[in-house]
Chain A
Amino acid sequence: AQTVTQSQPEMSVQEAETVTLSCTYDTSESDYYLFWYKQPPSRQMILVIRQEAYKQQNATENRFSVNFQKAAKSFSLKISDSQLGDAAMYFCAYRRGSQGGSEKLVFGKGTKLTVNP
């Protein structure tokens, strides 16, 4: 079974600074996707960024970028120029590739990010 591990229960960053959230995963599949989701307090989970395993290039979305190390099964999220609105729970998630089946998401336990003004 696939597992996702987030070893940092909480992180904090100063506004405008950069922070990196860690994630490791375990799978025997070759075709899969990795995601970072953001869950603000009392609001729905939204997708921050996604990475296809077959792509060597790291995904970027504005201030958010990932460091995808396939051999090490590591998938970290870097948030640059942190803003107060970035404060939230961040979940790393795994999904099998499109080989049939539910394509359900497997989540880590999350990292609570605090942004200090």
Chain B
Amino acid sequence: DTGVSQNPRHKITKRGQNVTFRCDPISEHNRLYWYRQTLGQGPEFLTYFQNEAQLEKSRLLSDRFSAERPKGSFSTLEIQRTEQGDSAMYLCASRRGVNTEAFFGQGTRLTVV
């Protein structure tokens, strides 16, 4: 058990470019979450997967954002046509099931210039 792993740790991109982040949850954790954390704020929920099914999406998740979790293992979060307002820390968390603790990754810090 190596914990929740996120890659890359840092990403700098030009406005208008597409970026993709990866999250590898703890093995056997069937629930996976993406959160976004901007400077001076707490994390805000973006989306939730149970196994491979994306069951909930926040209104924060605009059409430029898409997330997948093929085969219920790792997950990817893609942002198309990045904007400066997308600059934030993107956190991934996983849980084993109902009434269990969420474990967080170290996050991917995105800077859009």
Interface residues of A (CB under 8 A from B): 4, 6, 37, 42-47, 50, 91, 93, 98, 101-110
CB distance from A113 to the nearest CB of B (A): 15
- Cβ contacts under 8 Å, B33 to chain A: 102, 104-105
CB distance from B79 to the nearest CB of A (A): 20
Within 8 Å by CB of A107, from B40, B43, B48, lies B43
Within 8 Å by CB of A109, from B3, B42, B56, lies B42
CA distance A108 to B42 in the complex (A): 6
Digit string of B96-108 for contact with A (CB within 8 Å is 1, else 0)?
Answer: 0011011011110
Q: Which residue of chain A lies nearest to B6 when distances are taken between CB atoms in the complex? A: A44
Within 8 Å by CB of A47, from B3, B4, B31, B101, lies B101
CA distance A98 to B4 in the complex (A): 23
- Chain A CB within 8 A of B91 CB: yes
Q: Across the interface, do A104 and B56 meet the contact criterion of CB distance under 8 Å?
A: yes
Q: Which residue of chain A lies nearest to B40 when distances are taken between CB atoms in the complex? A: A109
Within 8 Å by CB of B106, from A44, A47, A101, A105, lies A44
Q: Which residue of chain B lies nearest to A101 when distances are taken between CB atoms in the complex? A: B56
B15-57 with Cβ < 8 A to chain A: 31, 33, 35, 40-45, 48, 55-56
